[in-house]
Amino acid sequence: MTGTKRILIVGAGFSGAVIARALAEAGHSVQVVEERAHVAGNCHTERDPETGVMVHVYGPHIFHTANQKVWTYINRFAEMMPYQNRVKARVGDSVYSLPINLHTINQFFQGVMSPDEAKAFIAAKTQTGSGAPVSFRDQGLAFVGAELYDAFFHGYTKKQWGVEPAELPASILKRLPLRFNYNDNYFSHQFQGIPRQGYSDAVAKILDVPGISVALGTRAEDVDDPFDHVVYSGPLDRYFGHGDGHLRYRTLDFERFTYDGDFQGNAVINYCDEDVPFTRITEHQHFAPWEDPATRSVCFREYSRAAGPGDVPFYPVRLVHDKALLSTYVVRAEAVEKATFVGRLGTYSYLDMDVTIARALETADCLKQAFATGARPPVFVHRPL
């Protein structure tokens, strides 16, 4: 059946908002429900009432992309201020630069090596087996050698994921660069920034178009009205009532504290030692360097743990057991009529914001085409296995 559709979109993060706007602009009637009291999902930002600092409530988010289309899109709804993420790492009583670069190497090994000298020095320390690295630990030893791996990756990774690094896939570490120059920009993408007024303001503007209604504090399970189609960005296993078990996530606990002045001089400092219980400290005034320095700074210590019922899911674990359970839910989803699963939770995938927006735009195009032709809408535009 073609023509105008009544669409229910579950979740008001980037996935839900981008798809909602595209469908509304195509003439469809869109109802967005979000169980939290705010839009933007885990990208939510707000002014801290005590300090006035713009806080990334669920941890820092830096927008970075090489996708011109996505960059143009986000700039329609936000004034993107230039920002480069320059992470520091504390190991023992020393502070180093991340990602590992020539400064890190020279400081750690107390040398003054040139780029070529450092390349040869690190190459002599790497440990490679007969085949491609399989585990995170294998990749780390092949990447930088034992000393740098033990200092910067081993303890931090155990705290972040709650398992031995030898149990994690090598792909997690393959995302990180190793530089033999003094470039300490954490990302390499052409476009990098943070919205001047925060991410929640940007998402609210995406949703501000005729044809969209937004209901905050509303669970999908409590919506009884019939809809022609559902776009679901909530947890995939929750859609099926966790009938085959719970997909595993890591969640974060945030310990807030304030400081008169500047606490650490940087937005993010990782604490790599395994005996330090938190993974990092974020100081949020440094995520908005265009604003006047705060008289009183607000900081958060981050603690990672397994997500339980009622916790906010952050990172899908995706080990062998989890992927097997995921495959079960994907089969169930593909048998569902009139539903499309999207986003980090709906596809049980780790997605950066730019990829989330790109996939949402692609999904919206597929849905518009299906609605216009009467074809069956896709269950997954990107199958999550």
Query: Hey, which residues are catalytic here?
Result: 175, 179, 250, 280, 302, 350, 352
Residue 39 near residue 14, CB atoms below 8 Å: no
> Rounded CA gap, 375 and 377, in Å?
6
Residue identified by tokens 């972040």 is 160
Strands across the sheet with 212-216, in order? 212-216, 29-34, 6-10, 229-232, 339-341
Residue 258 near residue 50, CB atoms below 8 Å: yes
> Rounded CA gap, 48 and 5, in Å?
40
Give the DSSP per-residue string, 169-185.
Answer: BTHHHHTS---SSS---
Phi then psi for residue 145, to 5 deg, are 90, 170
95: helix, strand or coil = strand
| Tokens encoding 301 | 């210590």
| Parallel, antiparallel or unpaired: strands 63-65 and 229-232 | unpaired
Angle at 251 between CA 250 and CA 256, to 5 degrees: 145
> Rounded CA gap, 191 and 354, in Å?
10
| Parallel, antiparallel or unpaired: strands 229-232 and 6-10 | parallel
> Rounded CA gap, 12 and 62, in Å?
19
357: helix, strand or coil = helix
Residue 63 near residue 43, CB atoms below 8 Å: no
Residue 108 near residue 148, CB atoms below 8 Å: yes
| Tokens encoding 385 | 């296995």
> Rounded CA gap, 126 and 139, in Å?
10
Q: To which H or E segment does residue 269 belong?
A: strand 268-271
| Tokens encoding 343 | 């986003």
> Rounded CA gap, 126 and 198, in Å?
42
